[in-house]
């Protein structure tokens, strides 16, 4: 039996981290969305366990980071060994972020947390629901779903996001090529209980002639063991899959780590094959591919799940704007911005895998001799931290960026860093008075930050208070002097109001304007933690503006006195809704 359904704006196929992040971005923007997954229950064990600093920053902006920090385990240091000798040590603490570490948490927990947050926005994951068939048209997508009850549902939606994994049904239906190669070796994964000689806030990667092994801490004596398995997988009884044994894990640890690590127990283990593949296009008409449906690669560097989540946040706000009337070309920037990054991730993870597995030749020499010297150099060590944590991801070459030269600060296309600020004015007036950029930014809209001089803001406020006091005074002379003082002090800020109003007219109900200034030096340490001052993070040009996209990247910056016209044209070209057609004359 086939039943008709209500029409969501977006159908998301796949309820892994990528699909859930896309749904979270859309639901926060009040877009009607459905999330389906053919699995009747969430997976019990999964490969991805590491969450990078940039993903945690995005979770914070979506107000969902707290449960991750509560349930995850923080690792501040990465160590690389060759034949038992430590060749490199990378400390994440110098990163300019509130999250200077790699957070280890099982993917099942990641999915549970995201699904719970999604439920608070009124979206429930529909499990046991399978996409059977779909067709695209100029006005939308028609799809047939097989429900858990066995019935078939006919669905129409505006857009479809394929987040259904490496064996994507959507990708196969579209006939899209999945270019790349299947690597010959397999990998072993195991969750173990062990005692080690190291602190539990460090993780360790070992390369030896016998192969690769790595151990990542969950905390409380629990670890994830990863090792390559170059030989053929052991035979298993017919109808079953081979499963690693506790003895095999102990043997790998003993032969490859060369340190006193004692494996006491194993709660779960599996083998998996490594592929390095990517589609040629992330968009095909009204269908978008994200996560493993678009690319798969080696687990080296803990990049895969993070890449998919960040793709989802990149796509979500663009779909929301397009559904609000923004031009279709905005959606093309999903491929333009993300595809180069995915290709880099594939190359980097493939190279990292080859580097740690090399048992002879130039790559082994590079690992044992050259890399330790390079990592010892400050600028290269900093670049490695930024790259691994994904804080260095940027869209400077994107057509969505409008760059103007300022005195310091992040460039258009780069991540908008956190900073401690004094709120001069905003959607809530002067509240919260002191705050952080990440707290003020709402991922459901753009944020326009007008950076004003702190002294001028304080002078204007003092003059305002003085003017108010004078108004209640019985002295007409004092009243006139107070009013004039307020006008002079506030004049520098008043001229910025037309700037803010002009941007709000171009992006009605889509931008929140905040007037912010540096905190006085004595107050800055009391305002928050883990964030620099506004001047240190955003440079010294005052007044200036930064327009931050919903996904937390800067799309435009400049000087308020000279760059308003360029900013308005940029917003009209990419983000504004098309004007309604005029009625025909009678």
Q: What is the pLDDT of residue 488?
A: 44
Q: What is the pLDDT of residues 124-179, one digit of tens each?
A: 999 999 999 999 998 999 999 999 999 999 999 999 999 999 899 999 999 999 88
Q: What is the pLDDT of residue 143?
A: 96
At 469 the pLDDT is 53
- Could you please state the CATH topology (level 3) that the domain comprising 420-452+496-574 is classified under: Glutaredoxin (3.40.30)
**Cα–Cα distance between 36 and 12 in angstroms, integer?**
6
How much is the pLDDT for 580? 61
Is the confidence at residue 3, as pLDDT, over 60? no
Give the residue, 518 or 275, on which the prediction is more confident: 518
Q: Is the pLDDT of residue 568 over 90?
A: yes
Q: What is the pLDDT of residue 245?
A: 94
The domains of the chain are located at 1-49+106-176+280-338, 420-452+496-574
C-alpha distances out from residue 403 to 267, 412, 417, 443, 444, Å: 52, 5, 17, 22, 23
The predicted structure's pLDDT at residue 242: 81
Mean pLDDT of 426-437: 88
pLDDT in tens, 67-92: 999 999 999 999 988 888 888 899 99
> Quick check: 191 pLDDT over 90?
yes
Average pLDDT over residues 25-46: 91
Mean pLDDT of 537-560: 97
Give 360-405 pLDDT, tens digit per residue.
567 666 655 566 666 666 677 888 889 889 999 999 999 999 999 9
Q: Which is it for strands 287-289 and 159-162: parallel, antiparallel or unpaired?
A: parallel
Rounded Cα–Cα distance for residues 524 and 420 (Å): 7
What is the pLDDT at residue 528?
45
Write out pLDDT tens, residues 117-126. 999 999 999 9
Task: Tell which phi-psi region holds residue 207, choosing left (phi > 0), alpha (psi between -120 and 50) or beta.
Answer: beta
Task: Give the tokens for residue 424.
Answer: 């001069």
Burial 13-31 (b: 16+ CB within 10 A, else e): bbbbbbbbbbbbbbbbbeb
User: Six-digit token pair at 508?
Assistant: 């009605």
Q: How confident is the model at residue 455 (pLDDT cuts 50, 70, 90)?
A: confident
- How many CA atoms does the CB half-sphere of 492 hold within 13 Å? 20
Contacts 24+ apart (CB under 8 A), 307-311: 307/341, 307/342, 307/345, 308/16, 308/17, 308/18, 308/21, 308/163, 309/17, 309/18, 309/21, 309/55, 309/58, 310/54, 310/55, 310/58, 310/390, 310/393, 311/18, 311/282, 311/338, 311/342
Query: Quick one: pLDDT band at residue 527, thresholds 50, 70, 90?
Result: very low
Mean pLDDT of all residues belonging to the chain:
86
333-349 mean pLDDT: 89
pLDDT band at 520 (very low <50, low <70, confident <90, very high): confident
Angle CA(542)–CA(545)–CA(550) in degrees, nearest 5? 150
Assess whether the previous peptide bond of 543 is cis (omega < 30° from 0). yes
pLDDT at 97 over 60: yes
Higher local confidence (pLDDT), 439 or 582: 439
pLDDT (average), residues 1-17: 79
SS (H, E, C) 249-287: HHHHHHHHHCCCCEEEEEEEEEEEEEEEEEECCCEECCE
What pLDDT does residue 228 have? 83
- Name which residue leads in pLDDT, 462 or 563: 563
Q: Is the pLDDT of residue 572 over 70?
A: yes
Average pLDDT over residues 541-547: 97
Instruction: Specify whether the CB–CB gap between 284 and 159 falls below 8 A.
Output: no
Fold held by 1-49+106-176+280-338: FAD/NAD(P)-binding domain (3.50.50)
Q: Can you read off the two tokens belonging to residue 51?
A: 């969450």
Lowest mean pLDDT segment, chosen from 103-107, 401-405, 454-458: 454-458
| Element holding 352 (H helix, E strand) | helix 329-357
* pLDDT attached to residue 486: 47
pLDDT over threshold 70, residue 583:
no
Task: Determine contact, residues 451/516, Cβ cutoff 8 Å.
Answer: yes
d(CA 575, CA 567) in angstroms, rounded, equals 11
Residue 234 vs residues 20, 190, 227: alpha-carbon distances, Å? 36, 16, 15
Q: Which residue, among 361, 392, 356, has the nearest Cα to 88 in the 3D structure? A: 356
Q: Which helix (H) or strand (E) holds 311?
A: helix 304-323
Question: How do residues 461-514 score in pLDDT, each as one tens digit?
Answer: 776 666 555 544 444 444 444 444 444 445 567 889 999 999 999 999 999 999
DSSP sequence for 59-98: HHHTT-HHHHHHHSEEE-EEEEEETTEEEEEEE-TTSSSS
Predicted confidence (pLDDT) at residue 287 exceeds the cutoff of 60: yes
């Amino acid at each position: 039996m086939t039943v008709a359904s209500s029409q969501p704006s977006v159908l998301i196929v796949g309820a892994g981290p990528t699909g859930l992040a896309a749904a979270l971005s859309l639901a926060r923007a009040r877009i009607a969305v459905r999330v389906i997954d053919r699995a009747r229950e969430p997976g019990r064990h999964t490969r991805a366990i590491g969450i990078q600093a940039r993903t945690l920053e995005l979770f914070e902006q979506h107000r969902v980071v707290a449960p991750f920090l509560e349930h995850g385990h923080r690792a501040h240091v990465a160590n690389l060994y060759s034949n038992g000798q430590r060749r490199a040590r990378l400390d994440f603490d110098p990163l300019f972020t509130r999250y200077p570490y790699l957070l280890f948490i099982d993917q099942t927990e990641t999915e549970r947390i995201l699904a719970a947050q999604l439920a608070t926005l009124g979206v429930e994951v529909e499990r046991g629901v399978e996409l059977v068939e779909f067709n695209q048209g100029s006005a939308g997508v028609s799809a047939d779903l097989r429900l858990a009850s066995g019935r078939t549902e006919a669905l129409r939606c505006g857009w479809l996001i394929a987040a259904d994994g490496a064996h994507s049904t959507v990708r196969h239906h579209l006939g899209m090529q999945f270019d790349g190669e299947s690597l010959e070796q397999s990998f072993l994964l195991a969750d173990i209980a062990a005692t080690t000689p190291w602190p539990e806030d460090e993780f360790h990667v070992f390369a030896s002639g016998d192969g690769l092994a790595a151990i990542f801490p969950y905390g409380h004596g629990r670890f994830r063991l990863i090792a390559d398995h170059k030989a053929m997988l052991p035979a298993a009884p017919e109808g079953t899959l081979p499963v690693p044994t506790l003895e095999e894990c102990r043997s790998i640890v003993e032969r490859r780590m060369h340190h006193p690590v004692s494996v006491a127990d194993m709660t779960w283990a599996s083998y998996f094959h490594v592929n390095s593949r990517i589609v040629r296009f992330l968009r095909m008409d009204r269908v978008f591919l994200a996560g493993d449906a678009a690319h798969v690669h080696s687990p080296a560097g803990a990049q895969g799940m993070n890449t998919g989540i960040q793709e989802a946040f990149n796509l979500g706000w663009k779909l929301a704007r397009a559904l609000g009337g923004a031009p279709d070309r905005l959606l093309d920037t999903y491929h333009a911005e993300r595809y180069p990054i995915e290709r880099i991730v594939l190359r980097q993870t493939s190279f990292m895998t080859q580097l740690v597995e090399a048992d002879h030749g130039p790559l082994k020499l590079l690992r044992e001799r050259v890399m330790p010297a390079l990592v010892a150099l400050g600028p290269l060590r900093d670049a490695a931290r930024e790259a691994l944590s994904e804080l260095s991801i940027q869209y400077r070459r994107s057509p969505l960026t409008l760059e103007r030269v300022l005195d310091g600060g992040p460039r258009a296309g780069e991540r908008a860093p956190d900073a401690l600020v004094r709120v001069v004015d905003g959607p809530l007036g002067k509240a919260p008075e002191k705050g952080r950029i990440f707290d003020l930014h709402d991922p459901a809209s753009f944020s326009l930050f007008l950076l004003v001089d702190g002294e001028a803001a304080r002078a204007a406020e003092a003059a305002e208070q003085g003017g108010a006091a004078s108004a209640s005074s019985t002295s007409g002379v004092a009243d006139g002097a107070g009013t004039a003082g307020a006008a002079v002090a506030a004049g520098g800020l008043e001229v910025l109001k037309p700037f803010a109003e002009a941007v709000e007219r171009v992006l009605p109900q889509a931008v929140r304007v905040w007037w912010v200034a540096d905190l006085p030096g004595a107050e800055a340490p009391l305002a928050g933690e883990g964030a620099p001052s506004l001047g240190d993070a955003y440079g010294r040009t005052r007044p200036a503006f930064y327009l931050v996209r919903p996904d937390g990247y800067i799309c435009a910056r400049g000087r308020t006195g000279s760059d308003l016209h360029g900013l308005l044209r940029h917003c009209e070209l990419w983000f504004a809704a098309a004007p309604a057609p005029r009625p025909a004359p009678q």
